[in-house]
Amino acid sequence: MRVGVVGAGIAAGWFVDLLRRSGDAECVAVLRAPGGDRAEAGARLGVRALDDADAFYGLGLDAVVVTSPSGLHAEHASTALEHGCHVLVEKPITITGAAGERLVALAHQRDLRLGVVFQRRADPVFRHVAAAIHGGAIGTVVAVGLTLPYHRDDAYYASAAWRGTWALDGGGVLMNQGIHLLDVLVWWFGDPDDVRAFAATQARAVEVEDTAAVALRFGPGPAAGALGTVLATTASSPGHPHALDVLGTRGSLRLEGERVVRWDVAGAPPPNASETADGGARDPRATDTTNHGRVLADFLVALREGREPLVDGREALRSLALVERVYRAAGLR
């Protein structure tokens, strides 16, 4: 299967490497922004680098992985779909729900697959916890608490002009870093029916929020009526892995990073030890890509089997909708 990658940054490197190791697909080329150093990108990524979209799509691609800045996801994914390519997009699917809906509709019209990278959906530990919650092992979920004490310094935002901007980052700690864990919340507990929030830019010279405090009440679903909190920042020093507490009438549990550190659930066995290292709390380059590989492998199998991928475009709109609701509640939108 011939696959191209749009973008030439950190995430592009992950997927070029994963495709190289996949065994049933090849990365044909990367498409970087016009005017950049193609030779440098090609040497760094170890694959042909182009900056002309017509030449890129003229290579006979079956699928495209979009790793460009979030604000360009809608444009780049729609271009790939219009060229007849299946698309896997790094999170978020787009930076507005309206643009995401158009992308989902286009994929449906063209009978093409649209997948989104929310890698914890593929993690055995997170899937084990999901099964315990949905199977009723912890009883009625009464409360959920998510803390995300990440660190991104000034050099991180200065490393690329799009970082920390509404137009191309789409938001701050919630849209960029936190949306992964917000996706876990809607996956495990359903969509909130009430959202209250505060958000602020506390420590960095950026347009978007670097800190947010959110109160949730979950609607119909696995945790109907449960109350939740989200406290997220990229201004915490030195930065630590996220933590997630789930409290139920028959049991409770706590995750820190990618592992369960407390499992008081009599009705279900604990998950096996995590295979994934904690990373990314202080430096996105330290992200463990094991689960990215699982998402990519599932996407390639989905194309061969003609089924939807693990997280399709419609499902990915749920966490984006939650971010937008938080921003409206906090007065940012």
pLDDT in tens, 60-119: 999 999 999 999 999 999 999 999 999 999 999 999 999 999 999 999 999 999 999 999
Among residues 68, 85, 118, which one ends one of the domains?
118
The answer to whether residue 216 sits within a structural domain is yes
pLDDT at 14: 97
Nearest to 206 by CA among 183, 177, 247: 177
State the Cα–Cα distance between residues 261 and 240, nearest whole angstrom: 15
The answer to whether residue 258 sits within a structural domain is yes
* Longest distance between any two alpha carbons in the chain, whole Å: 59
Q: H or E element: which one contains 232?
A: strand 227-233
The answer to whether residue 321 sits within a structural domain is yes
Low-confidence ranges of the chain (pLDDT < 50): none
The answer to whether residue 299 sits within a structural domain is no
pLDDT at 168: 97
The answer to whether residue 288 sits within a structural domain is no
pLDDT at 231: 98
Instruction: Note whether 322 and 221 are same-domain residues.
Output: yes
Give pTM, 2 decimals: 0.96
Instruction: Note whether 9 and 68 are same-domain residues.
Output: yes
259-290 burial, b for 16+ CB within 10 Å, e for fewer? bbeebebeebeebeebebebbbbbebeebbbb
Among residues 118, 138, 171, which one ends one of the domains?
118
Give the range of the structural domain holding residue 65, as residue numbers without chain letter.
2-118
Q: What is the CATH number of the domain that holds 134?
A: 3.30.360.10
pLDDT at 138: 96
- Residue 328: count other Cβ atoms within 10 Å of its Cβ: 12
Among residues 118, 134, 160, which one ends one of the domains?
118
CA distances from 180 to 52, 68, 108, 244 (A): 31, 17, 25, 12
Q: Is the dihedral of CA 103, 109, 110, 113 positive or negative?
A: positive
pLDDT at 278: 82
Instruction: Note whether 155 and 259 are same-domain residues.
Output: yes
Q: What is the CATH number of the domain that holds 13?
A: 3.40.50.720
Instruction: Note whether 127 and 255 are same-domain residues.
Output: yes
Instruction: Note whether 111 and 127 are same-domain residues.
Output: no
